[in-house]
Amino acid sequence: MNDLDPILSGVQLRPRRGSDSVVIRRNNHGVVAKASSKKIPMTTFDGVSFEVDVEVAMKMEAVRSFFEDYNSQEITKIPLPNVSSNSLTMVIDYIKTHLDFSEMAKKCDEIEEIDVLSRKKYGKFTMEAKAYDNQYLEKLDNDAIKELLLAANYLNVKSLLDFLNQGIANRVMNKSVEYVREYFEIENDFTPEEEEAIRQENPWAWEDIDED
C-alpha cells in the first residue's frame, strides 16, 4: 500500500505531455547547479500551494512511491493533509540544501580528482553542512521540532527523520522524568507511593540530572 493511498481521492491526474526540460539555476551557496524545470504541485492542510522541484520531491519517499505507481500520468495536485505550510517549507529547505552540499562536494571531487569513497559525506563542505544543521535545529522550539518530525515521518524523508530524532534525543538527554513526561505529553499513571518506591530502588536514575 502506498503511503499516499489514503488521500488519492484528492490527487488530480492528467496524461503526461512532452518531456522534462533542464535548466541551470544558482543555489544559495553561490554555485551553479543543474535542475529539472519540472515541478511537483503540493497543497498543505492549511491551504498553501507549493511548486516543488522534482529532485527535492523525489527525496520524499511517500511522493516517490506514488509516482512509481502512477508514472504514466502527470500529477496536477498532491494534497498533504498531515503537513503544515511551515513544516513543508522547512522540509524543502533541508532537502534542497543537502542536495546542494552533495552537488558541490561531487564537483570539487571531480576537479581535484579526490577518491569519492575516501572522503567524508560532503567533502570539504562537511563543516558547512554541520553548521547549517546546527542552525536549522536552533530555529526550532520544542513544539516546532515535534511537528516537523511528524511531517518528515509522513513524507518519509529518512535523512531528516533520523536527524530530528537525534535532535530530540539530545534535548531530553539527562533530563528529569518530569521534563520528559511534559515534553512528550505522557500522563503519569504511577501513584506517589509507587513513584517513591521506584526512586528508592533506582536512586542512580535521579543522579546528576540536568536542570530542566
Domain ranges of the chain: 5-171, 174-206
| Whether residue 120 has pLDDT greater than 80 | no
183, exposed or middle or buried, with CB in 10 Å at 0-12, 13-18, 19+? middle
Determine the residue type at 180: V
Mean pLDDT computed over every residue of the chain: 78
Phi-psi region of 47 (alpha: psi -120 to 50; beta: other; left: phi over 0): left
Q: How far is CA 103 from CA 73, 97, 116, 202, in A?
A: 29, 10, 12, 51
**Of the ranges 21-35, 115-129, 196-210, which is most confident?**
196-210
pLDDT, residue 17, reads 42
Which CATH code, of 3.90.340.10, 3.30.710.10, 3.30.310.50, 3.40.50.620, is assigned to 5-171?
3.30.710.10
pLDDT computed for residue 39 by the predictor = 87
Rounded to two decimals, what is the model's pTM?
Answer: 0.72
Give the pLDDT band of residue 33 (cuts 50, 70, 90): very low
pLDDT single digits (tens) 147-184: 999 999 999 999 999 999 999 999 999 898 889 989 99
Q: If you write DSSP's letter for every residue of 4-46 in order, what string do you get?
A: TGGGGGG-EEEE--S---EEEEE-TTS-EEEEES-EEEEEETT
**How many angstroms separate the CA atoms of 168 and 184, rounded?**
10
Q: What is the pLDDT of residues 34-51, one digit of tens each?
A: 445 688 899 999 999 999
